[in-house]
Amino acid sequence: MSIHPTAIVASSAVIPESCSVGPYSMIGPNVVLGEDCELVSHVILDGHLMVGAKNRFFSFACVGVAPQDLKYKGEPTGAVLGDNNIVRECVTISRGTVGGGGTTRVGSNCLFMAYAHVGHDSVIGDGCIIANGAAIAGHVVVEDYATVGALNQVHQYCRIGKYAYTGGGTTVTQDVLPFSLTSAKRETQAYGLNKVGLERRGFDEARMRALQRAYRLLLASKLNTSQAVEKLKTDGIVTDEVAYLVEFIESSERGVLK
């Protein structure tokens, strides 16, 4: 067994010899690990936590910790993880509450990306991806092979169906259909030139005028993006900044916001 000398491991914790516990990690007295688990460093495993085989926990992950619920009074609740899960930096997975059945459950082969949160009494199926900064409230069910996008907010008691994909920044307040692509409406657009920022960076009047003209063509004229770019090229590109703007647009693979 590989346990770093700075790690704090309760004597009653069950840790197979095939596991690796990295620096400054803490394992509570009611934690049971399966074979070949790795705690990279600064990991906290707590509560009545049952972990399957070949799970990998990265720095500052906190799994099985007390639920963020004011009704919780220290009852002996827990969490269960299956096999082959990857829990990245600063992920939090709370243990259950008495009112929710007492157990938070995670299946196998899931990826929890940095800063994701899984609330108390939630159930995560097999093969799920919970992306960066996604916040899953308590009592949520994420079914098998669903993907919860970055910075999603999932309201308590919601269900995300099998094979669903929720786009980044989506707030989920009702059940998400299985097999669906579900995303918040996006209305991001460019409003004009970053005049104050450019002036602070020393852009002189001539450079500013050239960029302002370019942006009028791009954003305020009746020309589409391709037509505006051709107009800029036809009229003559007078500064390096306008040349860079044209090159940036022409080399874009996903299109530009405007």
Q: Give the separation between CA 106 and CA 51, rounded to whole angstroms.
A: 9
Mean pLDDT of 226-248: 92
The answer for residues whose C-beta is within 8 angstroms of residue 196's C-beta and 6 or more apart is: none
pLDDT band at 213 (very low <50, low <70, confident <90, very high): very high
The answer for residues whose C-beta is within 8 angstroms of residue 182's C-beta and 6 or more apart is: 164, 165, 166, 167, 170, 172, 176
Q: Give the separation between CA 15 and CA 116, rounded to whole angstroms.
A: 26
Q: Give the separation between CA 228 and CA 54, rounded to whole angstroms.
A: 55
Q: For residue range 70-83, what is the model confidence (pLDDT) as tens digits?
A: 999 999 999 999 99
pTM of the entire predicted model = 0.90
Tokens of 243: 């040349």
The overall average pLDDT reported for the chain is 96
Q: For residue range 152-166, what is the model confidence (pLDDT) as tens digits?
A: 999 999 999 999 999
Where does 95-140 have alpha helices with state H? none
Tokens of 87: 């829990």
Which amino acid appears at position 123 of this protein? V
Hey, is 174 helix, strand or coil? coil
Hey, is 255 helix, strand or coil? coil
Tell me which residue of 128, 115, 65, 63 sits closest to 89, measured CA to CA. 115
Q: Give the separation between CA 71 and CA 98, rounded to whole angstroms.
A: 9
Q: For residue range 21-43, what is the model confidence (pLDDT) as tens digits?
A: 999 999 999 999 999 999 999 99
Diameter of the chain measured on Cα atoms: 77
Residue 229 pairs with which residues in a beta bridge?
Answer: none
Q: For residue range 125-134, what is the model confidence (pLDDT) as tens digits?
A: 999 999 999 9
pLDDT surpasses 80 at 1: no
Whole-Å CA distances, 99 to 65, 121, 147: 17, 9, 27
Tokens of 31: 């934690």
pLDDT band at 141 (very low <50, low <70, confident <90, very high): very high
Q: Give the separation between CA 146 and CA 176, rounded to whole angstroms.
A: 10
Domains of the chain: 2-182 (2.160.10.10), 195-250 (1.20.1180.10)
Chain-centroid distance, C-alpha 165 = 13
pLDDT band at 186 (very low <50, low <70, confident <90, very high): confident
**Which pLDDT does position 68 carry in this prediction?**
97
Q: Give the separation between CA 115 and CA 90, rounded to whole angstroms.
A: 5
Q: Give the separation between CA 138 and CA 155, rounded to whole angstroms.
A: 8
Which residues are catalytically annotated? 120-121, 138
**Which pLDDT does position 74 carry in this prediction?**
95
